[in-house]
Each structure stands twice: as C-alpha cells, then as structure tokens.
C-alpha cells in the first residue's frame, strides 16, 4: 500500500512539474456534432497501453534479481526496438521487419512517460476529429498519418542515420494538424500551473461580482487550440531544420517525424464526413 501511495505521489509530482510551465491539453471545450462514442480513440489508447504493459514494460522495467537477468531483459527490449522500430535502414537495407515497421513502430513506446504524453494528446485532440470523420475512417487516418510521418522523416533527410524510431507521436501530430485545420477557432482545456496563478485575480473579481453559482476554482485553463498547435509546429520545425543541417537528431527526438506527421493532416479531408466536408468547402464553421 505504501509503495502504491509513493508511486502515485511521484507521478503527481512529475505531472505538476511538467505542466507548471507548459500547458498540457486535457480536452477540447467545443461541442461535437454527432456526439458519438470515440471508439477509435479509446481503442488506440487501449492498444498502445496494452502493447507497452504486456510487451515492452516487462523487459524495460524487469525487477528480476541478478545483473545477468536484468541485462538480458534489457537486451530483449533493445532487440524489439531494432526489429519493430523504424528508420531508413528498414527500407534501404531490409533490416528488422522491413516496411512493416512503418506500422508496428507507431504502437511502441520507449517508456511510461513517452506513452502517457502521447495518449494524453490523442485523447485531447482525437475525439473531436474522430467525430468529424467517423470511427472507422478516423482509425485509418491515424494509421496513414503515422506511416507518412515515418516515411516522411526519411524523405526529409535521407542521409540521417538514426536509431530506430518508435512512438505514436507522428500519428498524433497528424491528428493535431487535422484538429487545427478542421476547428481553427476551437478552445482547449489545459492543465497549466502558471495559467492558474495568472487567472486568480480575474477569477476573484468575477467571484465577488458574479451572482450565486459562479465557480471560483477550475483545474483547467481554456486556451485557443491554434495557439498550442502553432507552438507545437514551431517546436518541431526549428529542430527539424537543425537535424537536416547537422544530420543528427536533436535530444534524441525524431522531430522530422513530428513535422511530417503534421503535414500528413492534409489527408484528413479524404476521411471527413461528406456533410462536414461540404460545410468546410463553403467556408462554414464545423
């Protein structure tokens, strides 16, 4: 029981620190048109989590005693990344499972925080995009965006010789780009420590002057979605330029895949419901 409390406290502390300066999106504040259950988004979260918990985590966080056993489990972890992860060698030299790695790599994550961060962003932006597409088409769009992100990272810099890339970041970048294209005026509720502090004087004034029933405290801060997403593009674009210039990944992150995934968002118009597509082409709000 004490161990569980300690783990939870550690998780909340890291979460607080990570969201104090940079806002972490929780969900969009807009109303969906069809109000469908986001089966595809939920399924993708379950699949990614299951793959990590049952297949990656035992080798990464193996608690067996003995250095030889732990070294063996870590070697298994590295072997899985080399086999099912994606880089230019899987296409050029036929390593791993070759082109199939463009698909398998987007369901693998390096550690718990890698998984957690990706799934939070998928939950925040994926549900409304899924509602605009329908669950089956959104699922296909997600896979396509992830595969384009992988292949695009090689096309943007074919000389880059990197370690295998894993993670759903490229696919989720496509989902975030689709959210920006389809709902440019949407607001997103975020966990943001600095924002909560800055909002206190305004909330206090509203509370003192408002009628009964005004909620003084809210855990989330609403921010324009385009502001978060443009900032994300900037964070990916500048390191991508440096990666292309130096032929080296920046901080071990495949920023080129993030950028390529965001560009893959243009394909969402092949998956959007027909009535919403017509509204979009007519310049009407979705």
Could you tell me the CATH number of the domain that includes residue 58? 1.20.1540.10
* Residues facing residue 188 across a β-bridge: 28, 223
DSSP element (H, E) containing 166: none
Q: Structural domain of residue 265, as residue ranges?
A: 32-191+228-281
pLDDT of residue 49: 96
pLDDT in tens, the chain (286 residues): 676 777 778 777 787 788 887 888 988 877 677 878 899 999 999 999 999 999 999 888 775 555 554 555 778 888 888 889 988 777 777 777 778 889 999 999 989 989 999 999 999 999 999 999 999 999 999 999 999 999 988 888 766 666 788 999 999 999 999 999 999 989 999 988 887 777 777 777 776 776 666 666 778 888 999 998 888 888 887 777 777 777 666 666 788 889 999 999 999 999 999 988 888 888 787 7
Question: In residues, how long is the chain?
Answer: 286
Is residue 205 a part of any domain in this protein? no
Contact 122, 45 (CB under 8 A): yes
| Residue 217 within any structural domain of the chain | no
127 in a domain, yes or no? yes
Whether residue 96 lies inside any domain: the answer is yes
Retrieve residue 18's tokens. 């990570």
Domain count across the chain? 1
In a domain, 206, yes or no: no
In a domain, 245, yes or no: yes
What does the radius of gyration of the chain's CA atoms come to, in whole angstroms? 21
Instruction: Please state, in angstroms and rounded to a whole number, the distance separating the CA atoms of residues 67 and 74.
Output: 10
Is 163 within the bounds of a domain?
Answer: yes
Instruction: State the Cα–Cα distance between residues 219 and 190, nearest whole angstrom.
Output: 8
């Amino acid at each position: 029981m004490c161990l569980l409390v300690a783990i939870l406290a550690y998780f909340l502390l890291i979460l607080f620190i990570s969201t104090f300066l940079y806002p972490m999106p929780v969900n969009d504040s807009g109303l969906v048109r069809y109000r469908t259950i986001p089966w595809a988004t939920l399924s993708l979260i379950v699949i990614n989590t299951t793959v990590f918990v049952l297949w990656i985590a035992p080798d990464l966080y193996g608690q067996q005693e003995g250095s030889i056993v732990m070294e063996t489990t870590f070697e298994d972890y590295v072997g899985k990344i080399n086999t099912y992860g994606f880089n230019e060698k899987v296409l050029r030299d036929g390593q791993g499972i070759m082109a199939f790695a463009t698909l398998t790599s987007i369901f693998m994550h390096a550690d718990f925080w890698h998984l957690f961060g990706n799934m939070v962003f998928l939950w925040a932006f994926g549900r409304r995009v899924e509602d605009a597409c329908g669950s089956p088409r959104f699922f296909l769009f997600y896979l396509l965006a992830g595969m384009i992100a992988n292949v695009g990272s090689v096309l943007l810099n074919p000389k880059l010789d990197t370690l295998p890339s894993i993670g759903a970041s490229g696919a989720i970048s496509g989902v975030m780009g689709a959210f920006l294209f389809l709902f440019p005026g949407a607001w997103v509720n975020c966990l943001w420590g600095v924002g909560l502090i800055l909002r206190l004087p305004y909330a206090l004034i509203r509370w003192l002057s408002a009628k009964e029933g005004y909620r003084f405290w809210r855990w989330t801060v609403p921010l324009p979605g385009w502001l978060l997403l443009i900032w994300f593009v900037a964070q990916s674009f500048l390191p991508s330029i440096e990666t292309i210039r130096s032929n080296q990944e920046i901080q071990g992150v495949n920023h080129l895949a993030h950028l390529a995934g965001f560009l893959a968002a243009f394909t969402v118009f092949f998956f959007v419901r027909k009535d919403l597509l017509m509204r979009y082409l007519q310049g009407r709000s979705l």
